[in-house]
Structure 1
Amino acid sequence: MASITFLFLIISFLSLKDRTIALSSSSCALQSANVEFTLSTASHSASNPTSSCSLQQCNITSSDNLTCSLSPTPCFNYRTANNISYCAPAIDCPVLQPCNNMTYSCASNDSVCIVNSCCSPIAVCLPLLTTNFCIRGWSMTGFMNVVRYAHTASTLLDGKVLVTGGYFSGRYLNSVEQYDPSTGVWIQTGNMNVARGLHTASTLLNGKVLVTGGIGNSGYLNSAELYDPSTGVWTQTGNMSFARYYHTASTLLDGKVLATGGYASNSYLNSAEQYNPSTGVWIQTGNMNVARQTHTASTLLNGKVLVTGGSGNSGYLNSAELYDPSTGVWTQTGNMSFARGYHTASTLLNGKVLVTGGDGNSGSLNSAELYDPSTGVWTQTGNMSFARGYHTASTLLDGKVLVTGGSGNSGYLNSAELYDPSTGVWTQTGNMSFARYYHTASTLLNGKVLVTGGYNGGIVWNSAELY
């Protein structure tokens, strides 16, 4: 019933009554149904290629790198005042409501103000549901209750996603909310005891979520707390031995959590410690060979933890090292080809680790490389289409890796691309609706990827979208 209602709403919205005629078989697939719609041929319409407006068909290669040309829907490029592009069908001006020409805002969060609609000089509100026709792969979902970036997102055992903390408007946040994939709705749950951002969150084997460290409104944090999904309540647990942010936290095969490195009190850290969920106590373990922050940590199939790159006292690092939980000892392994921090590391289904992008000593990187645990050797693989750091990387159920957003040498990114381990090739996929970095991406149990929040240099988002 919900899908039928949705189809009816879209058909109603795209039907332009007396001012339209049907063009050659325009349709697009939506939930296995073909929706036929009509496009305006009025002189000011986006569908008229001879009009003087600045709209371009999405299947024309342009500097916008629009990728929705693979949709069977005829699509056009709608642009906001801050140059974010949307792809949507041609829509007659009387259908669209004007937006505030001063603030470029719409009364509804379900619409976005566009400035190049050929309804100019009037800026108009484009309903985001219409972009579902043209954005390949991405669709908007419910908005979070709180605007935030530098937060965490954890997939719970029941498939819901828990978002914690972050930063907005000069303050770190203690607010928490849950996303239900079955409804697309966000519901606020119990607040953390401590406001924090740039922290870590780990889903434990017992289903609880452990949050550690970060930075709060009064400084660096060594505190940790547990969220119980069955009650929605946070309980403080043992403090770490060191305050730290820009650190990592890895769930080990035995259920313990390993915290490594980070930064606090004007010092890069090489310390590491383990949290035991059965006792709530942190125990210091062997120190890393190199002090570092903004690094990555990946639990390998053999149970060891691979730490890569980051920044330290001498700048960005290309070093990597392995932690053996059975001995508590760190061993240096092969160096990456490029020094990098703010990068990502993804454990692939074949056991190798894919490192992508990041910031290097000469700017953002588009390079990617693979670590083979059986040899300890790094091998360069295909470059991404865009240089980016502060992005996300998600291993999909089919083994491919989806990279989203981030910040590059030319600004903030809404682009996304897929890496195929079988070929070593990156392929651009549909752009997100919003450029964002310091966002999160969570692989859901149904295989979709949920992207939340983030920042584009001017706006902090509460929006979320699904790939």
Structure 2
Amino acid sequence: MVSIANRCFLFLIFSLSIFSVHCYICDGTVLYERCSTNIACGGFNMVGSASVGVCGFLWMSCSQYDLCESSSNTCNKPEHICVQHPRCHSDPVCLPVTMIDQRICPPLKALDTVLPNTTTIVITTETTTITTTTAEPRNWHNTGSMNFTRRDHVATLLRDGKVLVTGGNIGTLGTTNKVELYDPASEMWTLTNSMQQSREGHTSSLLPNNKVLIAGGKSTSSSSSYQASAELYNPQTKTWSYIDSMKYTRHYHTASVLPNGKVLVAGGYSSGGIQNAAELYDPFTDIWTTTGSMNQSRHYHTATVLLNGKVLVTGGLGKNYLKSAELYDPTTGTWTMTGSMNQARHYHTASLLKNGKVLVTGGWDGGNYLNSAELYDPSTETWSVTGSMHYSRSRHAASVLPNGQVVVTGGSGSETQNRVEFYDPSTGIWTTTYERMNYARHSHTATLLENGKLLLAGGTSTILLKSAELY
């Protein structure tokens, strides 16, 4: 029989770092025995801690576990503990401490406390201290808030590691030209010089010369406010300067930095309707030139630069909701149709995986919010269905993590989401840790920082947000 300790504050000391999680400790643990009102949770034996274990979430993919160090039964990764998990491996594995959080695995109320209020367990070089103190989980934590609420803004990671956020809609005041910088070192936002033009639905591209190209967008609710204008941000002087305008007005278009340093802008919407026109910006001459037009007009589509240098455009909204895809070849300046997706979608995401394939997730097909996902293989130019997300979502964000997995955050569906899920390309399976974002949001930005953390900023749910949080 498992007995449960009161709320605990688990300290894991790895070198000079201390991590904590709000959890429950089991005495006389029977492996996998039920210990929580959540039937997906069970007891794990802690290696090196005689008859003491933790109540943790069982339904993680076995591929997500790393083996403990055999000589010391310790974990190299921070915020992991060494446990027995014979269903996955005969040797001890490293369990993320987020999987033992009491919000995932609340205790069985009928069980009594039998452990003392404070228990210390020493596992080789690691010290685990349990006290009856509450604590918040560490997966997501709030960071400094932006100075303005905003949605449909754009975030760009600069070469110095800071994040530049531009424009967007700030509510009753409409579209803004306000710009701010996030400093990961201080976790604070500071205002910098404003753009020359207010805009939302624009694009932002980091150029080889470290400057940032802002193109297009819409400045007001007027149909005459669609922008062809473009401007450059200089991070050294923190100033903006106009450059020649694009050939066409457009917003909710795409901009892709090509291997040769030029920027391909494609599609979008303007007062003249949905565009199929494309053009190139040359950062060495500051000149725009037209290039081949797409085969289909579209906006709210995605554009992904493939490992072979071509650009894959998927879906979007044209005369109808599109499942078509096409490729741009920079060497010829032409577009060719490629295999179509299995599902029409816009407000979706597209992520370039480390294996060169492209993962497309979610979106809206004109009648339904989607949880489906599919993979594009450039070598065959075909699409294949992969595992579906647990939750339908559109206007969400997808980010490729350093470990190759894709994390999907937020989005709108039957409700605005604060749920997070992870896609493992090696298995094609989605998992969710039940560790939610602090704020439900869609139309936000997600930026992978140089320190490996993920920064979410702004967006909207029932209200516009200026909050930001880190994973």
TM-score grouping bracket, smaller chain normalisation: 0.7 to 0.9
What residue is the counterpart of 1:221 in the other structure? Answer: 227
- The answer to whether 1:436 aligns with 2:441 is yes
Question: Where do 1:162-177 residues align within 5 Å?
Answer: 162-170=164-172, 171-177=174-180
SS in 1 for 2:331: coil
SS in 2 for 1:133: coil
What residue is the counterpart of 1:326 in the other structure? Answer: 331
Equivalent residue in structure 2 for 1:405, among 410, 435, 444: 410
Deviation at 1:75, TM superposition (A): 4.0
Q: 1:76 to 1:420 in 2, by over 3 A?
A: closer
CA distance in 2, matches of 1:187, 1:146: 11
Query: Residue type of the partner of 1:419?
Result: Y
| Cα pair 1:58 1:69 within 8 Å, conserved | no
Query: Residue type of the partner of 1:460?
Result: L
CA distance in 2, matches of 1:34, 1:201: 36
What residue is the counterpart of 1:116 in the other structure? Answer: none
- The answer to whether 1:207 aligns with 2:210 is yes
Equivalent residue in structure 2 for 1:235, among 228, 241, 249: 241
What residue is the counterpart of 2:386 in the other structure? Answer: 381
- The answer to whether 1:191 aligns with 2:194 is yes
What residue is the counterpart of 1:464 in the other structure? Answer: 468
Question: Where do 1:37-436 residues align within 5 Å?
Answer: 70-75=98-103, 133-134=136-137, 137-170=139-172, 171-217=174-220, 219-313=225-319, 315-408=320-413, 410-429=414-433, 430-436=435-441
- The answer to whether 1:455 aligns with 2:454 is no
| Cα pair 1:28 1:71 within 8 Å, conserved | no
CA RMSD across the alignment: 2.7
CA distance in 2, matches of 1:343, 1:210: 24
Deviation at 1:174, TM superposition (A): 0.4
Deviation at 1:138, TM superposition (A): 1.0
Which consecutive unaligned segments of at least 5 residues does structure 2 have? 25-35, 41-59, 61-95, 106-132
SS in 2 for 1:195: coil
Deviation at 1:72, TM superposition (A): 3.8
| Cα pair 1:250 1:257 within 8 Å, conserved | yes
What residue is the counterpart of 2:18 in the other structure? Answer: 33
Q: 1:296 to 1:73 in 2, by over 3 A?
A: closer
CA distance in 1, matches of 2:428, 2:366: 25
CA distance in 2, matches of 1:426, 1:208: 37
| Cα pair 1:58 1:75 within 8 Å, conserved | no
CA distance in 1, matches of 2:171, 2:21: 44
SS in 2 for 1:321: strand
Q: 1:37 to 1:438 in 2, by over 3 A?
A: closer
Query: Residue type of the partner of 1:230?
Result: Q
Query: Residue type of the partner of 1:28?
Result: L
| Cα pair 1:270 1:288 within 8 Å, conserved | yes
Query: Residue type of the partner of 1:185?
Result: M
Look at both structures and tell me which one has the larger radius of gyration over its CA atoms: 2
After superposition, give the CA deviation of every residue in 1:225-275 in whole Å (9 maximum; x if it has no partner). Answer: 111111110111110111101100000001110000011115110000000
Query: Residue type of the partner of 2:438?
Result: S
Deviation at 1:362, TM superposition (A): 2.5
| Cα pair 1:320 1:332 within 8 Å, conserved | yes
CA distance in 2, matches of 1:134, 1:270: 47
Which consecutive unaligned segments of at least 5 residues does structure 1 have? 1-22, 40-56, 62-66, 78-129
SS in 2 for 1:411: coil
| Cα pair 1:441 1:452 within 8 Å, conserved | yes
